[in-house]
Amino acid sequence: MTPSTDPPLLAVEPGYRHVLRAQTAISWLPLVIGAIIADQILLRDTPFHGIPSIIVPLLALLAITLIPQRKYSRLRYRLTDRMLQSLHGWMFHTDTMVPFVRVQHLDVVRGPLDKAFGTASLIVHTAGTHNSIVTVAGLAPDRAAEIRDIIREHVRSDFE
Amino acid sequence: MSSSDQAVGVAERLHPLYLVTGLGRGLRQMAGGYAAIGYFAATGSWGTALLLLAGIAVVLTIGVFLYWKRFEYRVGANEIRIDSGILSRTHRSIPFDRIQDVDISQGPVARLLGLARVAFETGASAGDKSDDGALAAISLARAAEIRELVRARRGAAVASADLTETEAAPIFAMDPPRVFLAGLFNFSLAVIAALFGATQTVGDVAGLDFFTRRFWRQALEAGSPIADFVLANQIAAGIAGTVLLLITGLVTGVARTVLRDFRFRLDRTPAGLRRRRGLLTLTDVTLPIKRTHAAIIGSGPLRNRFGWSDLKLQSLGKDEGKKGDHLVAPLARESEIAAILAQLNWRPVDPSSDWQRTSPAFAWGFTGALFLLLIPAGIQLAINPLIGLAAVAFLTVLVAFRWLSWRRTRFALDGDRLLIRSGWWRRRLILLPLANIQSVDLTENIFSRRFGLASLAIGVASGRGFSAHGIAAIPAPTARALRTSLLARFA
């Protein structure tokens, strides 16, 4: 790492798109099922019968095809010599910077979806009650561990 | 990366007896399950109840076993790593430098088995994941070993000799009578509220709801003798009920305090202030002195009358998991509190400091707002005198509290620290060294600006959930000047 000039923003693993898709699909599933059931039971005798059963799954399909791609393209992270920067958010852009010396502890988390698509999340905990958890999702497991080790070295060198 | 075994440490498991203690904890968490079993048993479906019971037992056992099987921790050269999770794996790494204190606690079963729960407090408020890092059950010896290791690695001033409790007298301790007294003061209003709620619910089931008009109309239509009888009965029952609630509140307070604070003992160790307490569950917490950010001396009208107060220290990390500030003296005399503060090299509060008052708008604004609520209360008074009266009384009490609280509110800039005194029912005196201030917010809103007032919220790197320490309703120029002087040392 060259300390003076900021290194470029890095994209996360392409496989994370699938994780995002799967997550979106899972989050839409109850809504779709609920809409279909409600449609079949409650709207049976109204002129609206059948509309939710078509519209909601279509919306879900739209969401699954469009949103993850956009979210993914916004996901960036950067590791300077003293900070971790994380950019995310499709409609609401968030750009978080965490100085290494403020980090309290570090998690590398792999959920079932992460395992299926070969990604991992790095979770950085800082002190305090506000915005104290910063996540960099969609990293390769090795890369997550590598960043964890880099940050941990800095935590160690900060000493009173 | 490229880490040798020595750097990462050897993988260790929780103590195999965790399978026993973990099961116990799991059983306690299954409240909903018991309700269901009780329901089925009560309605006569014994088969279903038994099946459910067996199901819960099997699921719990498997769950605890899998948790144990998938849980590993390593004590490395610079950090502690915890790998956990059955389906979703978390690899947590906690650098020694960030560990504020190592809490060791032992429940009754764990004490029998010689096990301890170890929690690493880092000050990261992971919100719902209330533990920053915890080892649910390891042997007590290993727990003490890890704690010593963490202290040594953290560069604590002393290469810890054996810190057995024989060396010095504690700086603060509570004997059983004192603990009992603390329990009396700890009289719990929450319990009363809960019991009142319960009586309401039970009354509902019994078909007697005193808060419906129908009940009263029927009662009164039935003729005046009966009405008198009902009313008299009502009052007698009310008094008896109140006394019962008071006693319950007292007993609960005493029981809770004795369980928690029995053999309360605070020692000065090289690593900081060490607190041990507990009757069934022993806890052992060390609070590093350097990381103490503020002190809060609390009291109440009754305790204050008898000259008692409590002392809490605010540091990174929370007391026993989630309870906010560290309680270092549950019930102490002023001189004892001064002695503890002296251990931190803090001088006692000088009563002749240059105390400033806040604006009465603090109470006026509140009174005005509650005045609006008085309108529905008045309407109730016409329809349903009992509720109306209660509502009016409640509002009056609220307003009175606010005024009393305003009368006690003072703040003073005492050299290198800020003193804030507030509250009447919950009296608090906050000692906040200026060096520990992280941020100062000055807030004005459309109302306060009209009266030329502002509020200050002072952020410290720790503390209970929402709390920035604040001073409400002070004249805006004073607020700005105070902010400037609070932050002067950083300029």
pLDDT in tens, B338-365: 999 988 888 888 777 788 888 888 888 8
Which chain A residue is nearest to residue B98, measuring alpha carbons?
A104
Query: Are residues B97 and A156, on separate chains, in Cβ contact within 8 Å?
Result: yes
With beta carbons under 8 A apart, name residues in chain A contacting B94.
Answer: 104-106
Give the distance from residue B107's alpha carbon to the nearest chain A alpha carbon, in angstroms.
27
DSSP state of B358: P
Which chain A residue is nearest to residue B96, measuring alpha carbons?
A156
Amino acid letter at B417?
R
- A residues 40..99 contacting B (CB < 8 A): none
Residue with the bigger pLDDT between B321 and A100: it is A100
Using pLDDT thresholds of 50, 70 and 90, give the confidence band for residue B102: confident
pLDDT tens readout for residues B233-267? 767 777 877 787 788 888 888 888 888 888 899 98
* Count of CA atoms in the C-beta half-sphere (13 A) of B389: 4
Query: Are residues A103 and B461, on separate chains, in Cβ contact within 8 Å?
Result: no
With beta carbons under 8 A apart, name residues in chain B contacting A158.
Answer: 97
Task: Determine the Cα–Cα distance for residues A108 and B92; give it in Å rounded to an integer.
Answer: 6
Residue with the bigger pLDDT between A102 and B264: it is B264
Which chain A residue is nearest to residue B154, measuring alpha carbons?
A159
Give the distance from residue A103's alpha carbon to the nearest chain B alpha carbon, in angstroms.
8
Residue with the bigger pLDDT between A11 and B4: it is A11
Predicted confidence at residue B210, as pLDDT, reads: 47
How would you class B169 by CB atoms within 10 Å of its CB: exposed for 0-12, middle for 13-18, buried for 19 or more? Answer: exposed
Using pLDDT thresholds of 50, 70 and 90, give the confidence band for residue A38: confident
- Residue in the structure block whose two tokens are 């009757």: B279
- Residue in the structure block whose two tokens are 């004249």: B475
Residue with the bigger pLDDT between B1 and B256: it is B256
**B155 in A contact zone (CB under 8 Å):** yes
Task: Determine the Cα–Cα distance for residues B401 and B362; give it in Å rounded to an integer.
Answer: 12
Q: Are B464 and B322 in contact (CB under 8 A)?
A: no
Strands B79-84 and B72-75: antiparallel
To test the contact with chain B by mutation, choose from A115, A124, A129 the residue with the greatest count of B C-beta atoms within 10 A, namely: A129
Q: Are A152 and A134 in contact (CB under 8 A)?
A: no
Query: Are residues B124 and A106, on separate chains, in Cβ contact within 8 Å?
Result: no
Q: What number is the average pLDDT over the span B156-168?
A: 48
Output the DSSP codes for A40-99.
HHHSTTSTTTTHHHHHHHHHHHHHHHHHHHHHHHH-EEEE-SSEEEEEE-SSS-EEEEEE
Give the distance from residue A130's alpha carbon to the nearest chain B alpha carbon, in angstroms.
8
Element (H, E) at A31: helix A16-42
How would you class B384 by CB atoms within 10 Å of its CB: exposed for 0-12, middle for 13-18, buried for 19 or more? Answer: middle
Predicted TM-score of the model (pTM): 0.65
Task: Determine the Cα–Cα distance for residues B322 and B334; give it in Å rounded to an integer.
Answer: 27
Predicted confidence at residue A1, as pLDDT, reads: 43
Task: Determine the Cα–Cα distance for residues B344 and B179; give it in Å rounded to an integer.
Answer: 24
pLDDT tens readout for residues B192-218? 666 566 555 554 444 444 445 455 555
pLDDT tens readout for residues B51-96? 888 888 888 888 888 988 889 999 888 888 888 888 888 888 888 8
Predicted confidence at residue A5, as pLDDT, reads: 62
pLDDT tens readout for residues A49-99? 888 888 899 999 999 999 999 999 989 999 888 888 888 888 888 888 888
Predicted confidence at residue A131, as pLDDT, reads: 61
CA-to-CA dists, residue A141 to A85, A100, A114, A137, angstroms = 18, 20, 9, 10
Of A50-54, A98-102, B160-164, B301-305, least confident by mean pLDDT is B160-164
Strand boundaries in B282-336, DSSP class E:
282-287, 292-299, 309-315, 326-332
Percent of chain B with pLDDT over 70: 80
With beta carbons under 8 A apart, name residues in chain A contacting B124.
Answer: 104-105, 125-127, 132-133
Among the listed residues B276, B300, B278, the one whose alpha carbon sits nearest the alpha carbon of residue B186 = B300
Q: Are A108 and A122 in contact (CB under 8 A)?
A: yes
Percent of chain A with pLDDT over 70: 91
User: Is the Cα dihedral B95, B96, B99, B102 positive or negative?
Assistant: positive
Element (H, E) at B456: strand B453-460
pLDDT tens readout for residues B280-292? 888 888 787 777 8
Give the distance from residue A44's alpha carbon to the nearest chain B alpha carbon, in angstroms.
35
Residue with the bigger pLDDT between B158 and B41: it is B41
Task: Determine the Cα–Cα distance for residues A12 and A78; give it in Å rounded to an integer.
Answer: 10
CB-based burial, B280-305: b 16+ in 10 Å, e otherwise: ebbbbbbbbbebbbbbbbbbbeebee
Amino acid letter at B84?
S
Predicted confidence at residue B197, as pLDDT, reads: 62
- A residues 125..154 contacting B (CB < 8 A): 125-129, 132-133, 145-146, 148-149, 152
